[in-house]
């Protein structure tokens, strides 16, 4: 979220405390106890030289070592990639499953992306499909959506927020002036059907089936640009 406005201070125990502009994830990340940096071999304390030698021996004898986790910075990742290249290793990032899913989507259907700056300054309609954003980015609305200023005079009350999905926290989607978001309730396994229906309606097409994703209760009736309506049920 590029929360460059965070204010931290050190504690007497050598840790950090979030003083201003924090969120639950910032507190969990910055205020967690620092792990021990003492080298260990088989769980027992060792010198750095012995630890380096043991690690080198393991890599030298390995047929196909796995480098996983990788919660590091750019320099650290470059070092890991160089080491994996020299040892014939495999690199599996801590978010590897999500990255692989994204690549599969790109390969199969293509991908259109944007930046947080574009969303902040240009987006007058935000459609959240199967996510409420705040579970992973608690300050998303504060930093991007309900910002007081934009480059093109787009005010907070000029934005329309639409949620598509079930079990979502839509409270952050209420504008500073009190205008609530739209919520199309839909189970996760039915999201593709509803998105395709909305896509057809926005293109001016007529749906042959009146209910989309049938079989549940509450209903919502999105309107296309041509004025036709389609009933969407959860």
- Here the contacts of 217-221 (C-beta below 8 Å, separation 24 or greater) are 218/185, 220/183, 220/184, 220/185
Beta strand pairing status for 211-212 and 231-233? parallel
pLDDT attached to residue 64: 94
- The structure's pTM equals 0.70
Q: What is the per-residue pLDDT across 190-220, written as a single tens digit (0 to 9) for each?
A: 898 888 888 899 899 988 877 786 654 444 4
Q: Which helix (H) or strand (E) holds 233?
A: strand 231-233
Domain boundaries, the chain: 1-32, 63-110, 116-233
- Cα(177)–Cα(155) distance, integer angstroms: 11
pLDDT attached to residue 1: 59
- Cα(208)–Cα(75) distance, integer angstroms: 55
Length of the chain: 234
Q: What is the per-residue pLDDT across 108-160, written as a single tens digit (0 to 9) for each?
A: 988 888 999 999 999 999 999 999 999 989 999 999 999 888 888 888 899 99
Q: Which candidate, 165, 224, 230, 216, places its Cα nearest to that of 192?
A: 165
In 21-164, where do the E strands start and end? 40-41, 44-45, 66-69, 90-93, 125-129, 160-164
């Amino acid at each position: 979220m590029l929360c460059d406005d965070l204010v931290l201070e050190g504690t007497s125990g050598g840790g950090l405390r979030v003083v201003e502009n924090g969120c639950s994830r910032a507190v969990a990340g910055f205020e967690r106890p620092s792990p021990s940096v003492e080298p260990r071999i088989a769980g027992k304390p060792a010198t750095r030289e012995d630890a380096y030698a043991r690690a080198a021996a393991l890599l030298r004898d390995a047929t196909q070592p796995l480098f996983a986790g990788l919660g590091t910075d750019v320099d650290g990742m470059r070092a890991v990639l160089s080491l994996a290249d020299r040892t014939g290793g495999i690199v599996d990032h801590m978010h590897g499953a999500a990255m692989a899913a994204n690549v599969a989507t790109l390969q199969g259907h293509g991908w259109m992306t944007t930046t947080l700056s574009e969303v902040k300054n240009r987006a007058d309609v935000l459609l959240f499909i199967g996510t409420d954003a705040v579970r992973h980015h608690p300050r998303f609305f504060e930093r991007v959506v309900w910002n007081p200023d934009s480059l093109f005079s787009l005010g907070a009350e000029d934005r329309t927020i639409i949620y598509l999905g079930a079990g979502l926290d839509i409270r952050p989607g209420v504008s500073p002036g009190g205008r609530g978001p739209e919520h199309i309730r839909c189970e996760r396994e039915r999201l593709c059907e509803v998105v395709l229906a909305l896509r057809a309606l926005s293109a001016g097409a007529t749906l042959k089936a009146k209910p989309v994703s049938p079989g549940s209760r509450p209903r919502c009736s999105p309107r296309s640009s041509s004025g036709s309506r389609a009933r969407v049920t959860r």
